[in-house]
Chains A and B, each alone.
Chain A
Amino acid sequence: MTAYIAKRLLATVPVLIFVGLVAFSLVHLAPGDAANIMAGDYAGPDDVKKLRTELGLDKPVWEQFTEWVGRTVRGDLGHSIFNGKSIAELVSTRIAPTLSLAMFGGLLAVTLGVPIGVMAAWKVGTKWDRLGQLWAALGISIPGFWLGLILIYVFAVNLRWFPVIGFVSLNESVTGYVRSLTLPVCLLGITGSATIVRMTRASLLEVFREDYIRTARSKGLAERSVLFRHALRAAAIPIVTVIGFLAAGLITGVVVTETVFTIPGLGRLVTESVGRRDFPVVQSLLMLLAFIYVMVNLLVDLSYAFFDPRVRL
């Protein structure tokens, strides 16, 4: 088990190097010159040149890359070229709302998605099944930003149950925290649950056709036991896998959600920094998000062994 985890952790290194390469290239291939932007409208060509040297932007690209990798590995994420703040500090102030959103959104997606999927599979062919599938189809096809705006319009603007924008931290006010998160969490949960519904339904329907389900029935077990003891556990692996994918979806979903609800989280920091050509911040955030994603998938892989004894670790 320990060897397996160590192996999997080692395997993340090439992935992260590749992500780093892509992140670096994307930022440096994008049009716009950071030095120009930083120097401002009244700077002369000499000032820009001087700034460029300071930032190391005049060095060859590969040298910039190795320097950046070296600093990142040592834990020095560098500084924003927009406001000079350290990136570590920027991340730490912005991570709370994002983590709250992703965790509760993911939790809601699972608690909605698995039961709806189970119901659809259990009552296959009935109106309950069609309702579940409708839910899944809508969740997949409705764009998140549009649903977000509708939620804001109905529940925040018209009904005034929730604030329209912004985020209240847990330290400031618990009710404020809950109220400011409710709508964005609902948005993430609804859109996230759609794929879980589909996978749960498909996976269960496949398991229902297995011989061992017939065996379970031939023992005289009640349908409840057949479903929960025999079928659901056997169907778990594809469901857990899709929940792992959802983690990736949540990362991108959080960017959209934070933008729609104007929540000062990591997602917003990404979009703001892209707009400002603040390349050190963009690079570091991409690396951070990739790292989180890789870790979530490691957890998913480990959970396989829990659900299926045939998976040897």
Chain B
Amino acid sequence: MTERQTVEPLLQVRDLKTYFYSPSSVVRAVDGVTFDLREGETLGLVGESGCGKSVTALTLMRLIPNPPGRIVGGEVIFKGRDLLKLSDSEMRKVRGRDIGMIFQEPMSSLNPVLTIGRQLTEALELHMNMSKRQAMDRAGELLDMVGIPDARTRLKDYPHQMSGGQRQRVMIAIALSCNPKLLIADEATTALDVTIQAQILELMQDLTSRLGTALLIITHNLGVVARYADRVNVMYAGKIREMGSSDDIYGSPKHPYTVGLLNSVPRLDEPAKTRLAPIRGEIPNMADLPAGCAFRDRCDWAIERCGAEDPTLTEAGREHWSACWESAKVSRRPAAQKAKV
């Protein structure tokens, strides 16, 4: 996809498909997702709730609950190996060691009946062959690294003795404990207060750039991605609809859905009375997607062709792709003007 690439990307996701089965229907939560992630870069995966971004993350880790979910196709090439072809025990060596993951709910992501120390040391003992004592020492350093004061004594604490922000710091410490090549943050800051969100994001950014870890930020918050990601994938109804550098995605979006997302975020550089323009309509029923482009019913640019054929990602600029028949015509203007009614 990037013709001038010389180094092989850290992660190559190819035509990934994860479906959820119920007796009456099939939900194509992830339906042919393809993207690359380069060593050390920060990539944003953006979309509304239910668009399949979290399922994508869980699929990379092969943590999809089966049943009802199943990874039905595609490749996840990580450091030259297809993770989907690994045995369960080989995959367990990837989880926690090569790829760390942080989840949305800091309140429920840590085990309430185990100490913070124990939850930090178990991965160290497992992947780094540390003794209990070594692991405990390292756990103290890690807590210190993520900015928890008095780290050594906090190791004996239980999760309920910490605030949400602190717990998410602990999660970061756990996820980074074995020096992974990739950190996946699945809505890691969504449940936190805005000020804490920024702290946690700064921390992740700072640590991953220091450790050379690639970062995949999954969020519905465009502001987060704008600030922290090098490149952005915009996902809608199980597919990536636009991908490009952060600057391109914000400066010259080429997919109507991206435009809609940007228009529904308040901006400081617009007149104060400007009304927000939410995307009209609703997310389509994922169990019963219509033929053609899944976004066309909500789209201002839709043409007849959109009802018949689902566009695939095509080049819309340098390192910028959009899955839209009308991508050449799409820009932020029309929707923004409409918003001033």
Contact = CB atoms under 8 A, between A and B. Distances in A.
B95 A309 contact: no
A300 interface: no
Given A215-B109, A310-B160, A229 B114 contact: yes
Contacts of A233: 113-114
A216 B96 CA distance: 9
A220 B110 contact: no
A219 B96 contact: yes
Contacts, number: 72
Nearest to B184: A218
Contacts of A130: none
A217 B63 contact: yes
Contact of B95 (A210, A218, A310): A218
Interface stretch (B97-105, B192-200, B320-328, B330-338): B97-105
A120 to B, nearest CB: 17
B234 interface: no
Given A219-B96, A220-B95, A229-B122, A310 B112 contact: yes
Residue from A211, A215, A219, A310 having most chain B Cβ neighbours under 10 A: A219
A221 interface: yes
A210 B108 contact: yes
Contact of A220 (B127, B158, B160, B171): B127
A237 B239 CA distance: 43
B174 interface: yes
A225 B127 CA distance: 14
A212 interface: yes
Nearest to A209: B65
Contacts of B101: 218
A79 interface: no
B95 A217 contact: yes
A174 B95 CA distance: 55
Sorting the interface of chain A by its residue count into under 10, 10 to 19, 20 to 34 or 35 or more gives 20 to 34
Interface string B89-126: 10011111100110101001111111000000011001
Nearest to A233: B113
B61 interface: yes
Interface in A278-309: 307-309
Q: Interface of chain A, helix or strand or loop or mixed?
A: helix
Interface string A206-242: 0000111011111111100100011001100000000
A258 to B, nearest CB: 39
Contact of A212 (B112, B126, B127, B160): B112
A218 B112 contact: no
Contacts of A218: 61, 63, 95-96, 100-101, 103, 175
Contacts of A230: 111, 114
A211 B108 contact: yes
A227 to B, nearest CB: 13
B33 to A, nearest CB: 20
Contacts of B105: 211
Contacts of B112: 212, 234, 308-310
Contacts of A309: 112-113, 158, 160
Interface in B125-176: 126-127, 158, 160, 171, 174-175
Interface of B: 61, 63, 89, 92-97, 100-101, 103, 105, 108-114, 122-123, 126-127, 158, 160, 171, 174-175
Nearest 7 CB-CB pairs, A to B? A220-B96, A220-B95, A219-B96, A211-B108, A212-B111, A309-B158, A219-B123
Given A234-B112, A309-B158, 7 more contacts: A214-B103, A216-B111, A218-B103, A220-B95, A233-B113, A234-B113, A307-B113
